[in-house]
Chains A and B, each alone.
Chain A
Amino acid sequence: MEINHTSYKRCDVLSVKGRVDSATAPQLSDELNRLMENGRYRLVLDLANATFLSSAGLRTLLNTQKNCKRHNRGELVLASVPANILAALELSGFVPIFRIFDDVLSAVGNI
């Protein structure tokens, strides 16, 4: 898995490439935690090039959203979610707790 980070004035975008599983989810978690520790709570996760998301990845998303939304200080939104990963998010009851955008541009413009 590779993670690319782009920082904007209002938000940060993390673009994930490859598999998010029990081997790689800790790396994603570390990146998200590093941003939050620096006071950055408006986060966009770009999944356009993500090929797989296991429950370890789902846990990372859930814990990040809990942290971001605490005290209404921000949120984690998802962008460019591939169909198979979207099916996993729907099955896991995640769709009501994450805003999902068709592309990064829309996500950055609306967060």
Chain B
Amino acid sequence: MEIFNANPDFPKKTQTFPGVFSSLEKIAGFVCSVAADLGFDSSAVYSIETAVDEACSNIIEHAYGGEGRGMIEITCIIEEDQLKIIIHDTGQPFDLDRVPEPDFSTSLEDRPAHGLGIYIMRKWMDEVCFEFTANSGNYLTLVKKRIKR
């Protein structure tokens, strides 16, 4: 089944990690290494690291409902003008669209502590797309475009 229109001609790298918080540093090492090799600058690499970290933390916390309950598969597809990262899990669907944007106009005491991760992910990535399939689980696609020099 081809649900992401991923061109098979584009090089891709896939790694699978246990769904535990201690995997986050290793996941960061994987995606940052791919992004840096593609020539993304420090700021762009950091934004990719953040988006992937937030996505994987959400998977562990919400899709799997805790640590050690499933795996996280990360595929980096190196396309001509962008890096596409597909994050796959087999937990419960977690629809990012249902998370409201944080309200920054509130006072310190009323400032909500949740919702920031998904907000940052959306702001720092060029595309964020969530898909759920009944047979194989959840797929989150993050896209960061390369700035042409």
Q: Which residues of A contact B (CB under 8 A)?
A: 19, 21-23, 52, 54-56, 58-59, 62-63, 65-66, 69, 83-84, 87-88, 91-93, 97
Contacts and interface: CB of A to CB of B under 8 A. Distances in A.
A25 to B, nearest CB: 9
Contact of A21 (B42, B43, B57, B61): B57
Contacts of A55: 54, 57, 116-117, 120
Nearest to A69: B108
A66 B57 contact: no
Contacts of A65: 108
Question: Which secondary structure characterizes the binding site on chain B?
Answer: helix
B125 interface: no
B108 A52 contact: no
B111 A54 contact: no
Given A19-B25, A65-B108, A92-B116, A54 B54 contact: yes
A97 B53 contact: no
Question: Which secondary structure characterizes the binding site on chain A?
Answer: helix
A65 B116 CA distance: 16
Given A19-B28, A22-B60, A65-B108, A59 B53 contact: no
Interface in B90-149: 102, 104, 108-109, 111, 113-114, 116-117, 119-120, 123-124
B40 to A, nearest CB: 12
Interface string B1-45: 000000000000000000001101100100000000000001100
A87 B43 CA distance: 9
Nearest to B42: A84
24 contacts: A19-B28, A21-B21, A21-B24, A21-B25, A22-B21, A22-B24, A22-B57, A22-B60, A22-B61, A54-B50, A55-B54, A55-B57, A56-B57, A65-B108, A66-B109, A69-B108, A84-B43, A84-B46, A87-B43, A88-B120, A91-B124, A92-B119, A93-B102, A97-B111
